[in-house]
Amino acid sequence: MTDHFFEGAEKLLEIWFDTSETKLTTRNDLRHIPRDAIEEVLNLVNCKVLRFAQSKEVDTYVLSESSAFIWKTHLVLKTCGATTLLAAVQPILELAREYAGLDMVDQIFYSRRKFLRSDLQKGPHSNFENEVAYLDSLFEGGCAYVLGRVNRDCWYLYTLDKPCERKKLDQTLEVIMTDLDPEIMKIFYQDNTTSATEATKKIGIDKIFPNAKIYDYLFEPCGYSMNGLMPDGYYFTIHITPEPEFSYVSFETNAPYSLYNDLIRKVVEMFNPGKFTTTMFGVSAANSLDLQRKYFHYTDYTRTDYQIVCLTDYDLIYGYYKKTLR
Amino acid sequence: MTDHFFEGAEKLLEIWFDTSETKLTTRNDLRHIPRDAIEEVLNLVNCKVLRFAQSKEVDTYVLSESSAFIWKTHLVLKTCGATTLLAAVQPILELAREYAGLDMVDQIFYSRRKFLRSDLQKGPHSNFENEVAYLDSLFEGGCAYVLGRVNRDCWYLYTLDKPCERKKLDQTLEVIMTDLDPEIMKIFYQDNTTSATEATKKIGIDKIFPNAKIYDYLFEPCGYSMNGLMPDGYYFTIHITPEPEFSYVSFETNAPYSLYNDLIRKVVEMFNPGKFTTTMFGVSAANSLDLQRKYFHYTDYTRTDYQIVCLTDYDLIYGYYKKTLR
């Protein structure tokens, strides 16, 4: 028995910017921030850039601990392990102001699953209360929510209570899986698979969005990350911690909601987790409640939690599923 | 400026019992528990009985700190101030076994609003984590939820993740009001009103359910409690802490859901709070979501939070409303 442990659960930060000028111009683009300035921020968080790519709409980074995506006026930063993601917030706000004239925050989402080992986290990340206190010191009107069972698995969210000015109404799906099938997880060890591309194909990640460009990475001795770019600024990203003692896989996308039912089913069948959480943002709860009764039932899984939070512009839907004992 | 403070926010405990015998008999009745045994339990919690009454279906107690209701196989205990409600749980389980042959717990609900001054609470009540740890030591399969904004006002719930065997599917509405109209609150001072009955009539509590029998109490120098019994085991209960620095009013009933829209409106107009929380149990969320879009909008109030938790047999709907600034 070793003490080896890795916290797969990511901290996830999404910030939407705006300008106090009357309208957005080409100057207002987060992608004007120099690459070395971004890498400096990532250093603060304790991440390195492993791969970089771009499409017309988005710059994407595969990181030593998860991923970053940068669009014109918003960004997604997702970091796992013992990274200190919140240390990036203030520097990012400054870079956005300096290089992109984006001097206002339109909306922010900070979220994460309950850590397996919060005692190994650093700074405010050791508990949600401290994270909230830190964010409250930077933003006005922040709202902190806990979804799921606080004495078991749960998921935390911090967001601003305000209507968005610039932010397009979009949607995000995250599927967070634990207790994964150890046979499947073997794919993500360099002893069994020689390259990231091979891992991507073996498990079938290349078939989730056949039109995506995939930027993947296989870690030494094990672990896997990928960012996928589709047309129109759509993305998906998968991160895999395969060790059986603390296996963890996350799937995230901003693909359209109409695909979610098939997507969740595909992803869950691919990884065969013992438990999984789904979070969906940006969906009308009334519609989705109706939809979930029809669709969001997965063979072999029992839904033990289902919650809806109606936010100012968004609805958030949280589901928690466990493999049914036979 | 004095240090005078009273925590109006109640701890609310509802327990549904069952027997391991094949079926319930007349023996299985919580009302067989002797009155002095009940008063002993209330002493542990730091409450005294001020008034007692009964109907065919239910025994009701107005307490020095809130209320108790005891039916054949379930009970509701609601206590405010610095009472230690959870100290009652184990003794109640023992009394139910000894005097009513009710040796199993079918379901439990423990809930409360975030305290104004949690530093003044005793024992596990100083924070929800400790309350949950205590309940987890007594029950298996307990689920702890936090509704609302954990960095502002929120509401806590502990319940068991199991389908109910005996428990009838019923419903409960609670309206928790703060920042109340000081002019209205003056009614609940003995300087201004000579009896509980007078207070009940002045504000119009006697008109909420015209067919209710009302057992009310006006505290010295201020404060008010009432229990109301309607036919078929329906009840309502109101508790008022009128001091402007920490004013608090709670309204609770198990009246049928179809009345909720009118009830909430009536109660909110009666007390004119700056903020109020509604919690509704036992309603199908799909129906209610649809209903709320049509009905649950209150003139002069903005709904800042709206959440739905789908439990095993129940849906729980949480709303938080603030008076709209003009």
Confidence of residue A313 (pLDDT cuts 50, 70, 90): confident
Q: Where are the alpha helices (DSSP H) in chain A?
A: 35-45, 89-100, 128-138, 182-185, 196-203, 260-271, 285-294
Binding residues of A for substrate: 6, 65, 219, 243
**In terms of domains, do B89 and B179 share one?**
no
Contact check, Cβ <8 Å, B307/A309: yes
Residue B1 maps to a domain: no
Residues A57 and A141 placed together within one structural domain of the fold: yes
Residues B201 and B223 in one domain: yes
Q: What tokens does A131 get?
A: 């994270």
Across residues B180-186, what is the average pLDDT? Answer: 98
Which residue has better confidence, B193 or A299? B193
Alpha-carbon torsion, ordered A280, A282, A283, A284, to 10 deg: 140
Type of residue found at B99: Y
Residue positions of A annotated with a catalytic role = 66, 80, 225, 239
Q: What is the per-residue pLDDT for A314?
A: 81
Q: For residues B153 and B259, state if they share a domain.
A: no
Q: How far is A311 from chain B (nearest CA, A)?
A: 7
Asked if A308 is an interface residue toward chain B (Cβ–Cβ < 8 A), one would say yes
Cα gap B13→B105, rounded to integer Å: 13
Residue A39 backbone class (left: φ over 0; alpha: ψ -120 to 50; beta: rest)? alpha
C-beta atoms surrounding A21 within 10 Å: 13
Give the structural domain span for A246.
169-326
Classify the C-alpha dihedral B197-B198-B203-B209 as positive or negative: positive
Place of tokens 């020689």: A194
What is the predicted pLDDT for the residue at B267?
Answer: 97
Active-site residue, selected from the candidate residues B239, B247, B250, B288: B239
B209 found inside a domain:
yes
If asked whether residues B66 and B16 sit together in one domain, one would say yes
**What number is the average pLDDT over the span B169-183?**
94
Q: Is the pLDDT of residue A231 over 90?
A: yes
**Tens digits of residue pLDDT in B31-71:** 999 999 999 999 999 999 999 999 999 999 999 999 999 99
Q: What is the CATH number of the domain that holds A36?
A: 3.60.90.10
Q: What is the pLDDT of residues B101-143, one digit of tens each?
A: 999 999 999 999 999 999 999 999 999 999 999 999 999 999 9
> A237 by DSSP, 3-state: which?
strand
Task: Specify the range with the lowest mean pLDDT, choosing from A124-133, A304-313, B124-133.
Answer: A304-313
Binding region of B for substrate: 6, 65, 219, 243
What does the pLDDT average to over A267-277?
97
Q: Count the Cβ atoms, other than its own, within 10 Å of residue A51.
A: 16
Question: Residue B312: what pLDDT?
Answer: 82
Domain boundary among A110, A131, A162: A162
Same domain, A187 and A269: yes
Indicate whether B118 and B195 sit together in one domain: no
Per-residue pLDDT at A166: 65
- Asked if B59 contacts B72 with a C-beta cutoff of 8 angstroms, the reply is no
Q: Which among B151, B304, B307 has CB closest to A136?
A: B151
Rounded distance between C-alpha atoms, residue A27 and residue B123, angstroms: 58
Tell me the two tokens of residue A88.
């990036």
Percent above pLDDT 70 for chain B: 94
Q: What letter does residue B10 receive in the DSSP assignment? A: P
Residue B225 designated active-site: yes
**pLDDT score for B325:** 78
ipTM of the complex: 0.91
* Tokens found for residue B168: 């009838």
Paired with A278 in beta bridges are A175, A319
Question: CA-CA distance, A199 to A172, in Å (whole number)?
Answer: 25
Separation in Å, CA of A131 to nearest CA in chain B: 11
Of the two residues A79 and B314, the one the predictor is more confident about is A79
If pLDDT is split at 50, 70 and 90, which confidence band does A3 have? Answer: confident
In this complex, do B132 and A150 lie within 8 Å of one another by their Cβ atoms? yes
Q: How far is CA B198 from the centre of its chain?
A: 24
Cα–Cα–Cα angle for A157, B171, B307, rounded to 5 degrees:
15
What does each C-alpha distance from A210 to A54, A205, A238, B307, B322 come to in angstroms? 18, 9, 15, 36, 48
- Name, in order, each residue with C-beta under 8 angstroms of B156's C-beta and a sequence gap of 6 or more: B111, B112, B113, B114, B128, B131, B144, B145, B146, B147
Among the ranges given (A111-115, A278-282, B45-49, B233-237), the one the predictor scored with the smallest mean pLDDT: A278-282
Whether the pLDDT of residue B192 is over 90: the answer is: yes
Predicted confidence band at A256 (pLDDT cuts at 50, 70, 90)?
Answer: confident
Whether residue A37 is found in the same domain as residue A106: yes
Q: What's the residue count for chain B?
A: 326
Q: Using a CB-CB distance cutoff of 8 angstroms, which residues of chain A are in contact with residue B145? A: 146, 148-150
Q: Domain count of chain B?
A: 2
Look up residue A15 and give its amino acid.
I
On the question of pLDDT at B284 being above 70, the answer is no
Last residue of a domain, one of B148, B163, B178: B163
Residue B2 belongs to some domain of the structure: no
**pLDDT computed for residue B268 by the predictor:** 97
Give exposure, B80-95, as e/b (b: 16+ Cβ within 10 Å). Answer: bbbbbbbbbbebbbeb
Of A128, A132, A151, the CB nearest to B132: A151
Q: At what angle do helices B89-100 and B128-138 cross, to 10 degrees?
A: 30
A153 and A174: one domain?
Answer: no
Question: Domain boundary at A131, A162, A193, which?
Answer: A162
- Residue A287 has what pLDDT? 56
**What does the pLDDT read at residue B217?**
98
How far, in Å, CA of B86 to CA of B124, rounded?
A: 8
User: What is the pLDDT confidence band of residue A167, given thresholds at 50, 70 and 90?
Assistant: low
- Quick one: A223 and A249 in the same domain? yes
CB contact A207 to B (< 8 Å)? no
Can you give the pLDDT at residue A251?
A: 98
> Given a cut of 90, is residue A296 above it in pLDDT?
no
What is the spatial distance between Cα B66 and Cα B77, in angstroms, rounded to a whole number?
8
Quote the DSSP letter at residue A119.
G
Chain B contact for A286, CB < 8 A?
yes
CB A234 within 8 A of CB A254: yes
pLDDT at A185: 98
Interface check for A127 against chain B (CB to CB < 8 A): the answer is no
pLDDT 10s digits, A17-73:
999 999 999 999 999 999 999 999 999 999 999 999 999 999 999 999 999 999 999
Summarised one tens digit per residue, pLDDT across range B250-277 is 999 999 878 888 899 999 999 999 999 9
How many Å apart are CA A211 and CA A26, to the nearest integer?
28
Do B15 and B125 lie in one domain? The reply is yes
**Same-domain pairing of A185 and A296:** yes
Out of B150, B286, B307, the one facing A290 most closely (by C-beta) is B286
Contacts of A129 in chain B (CB under 8 A): 150
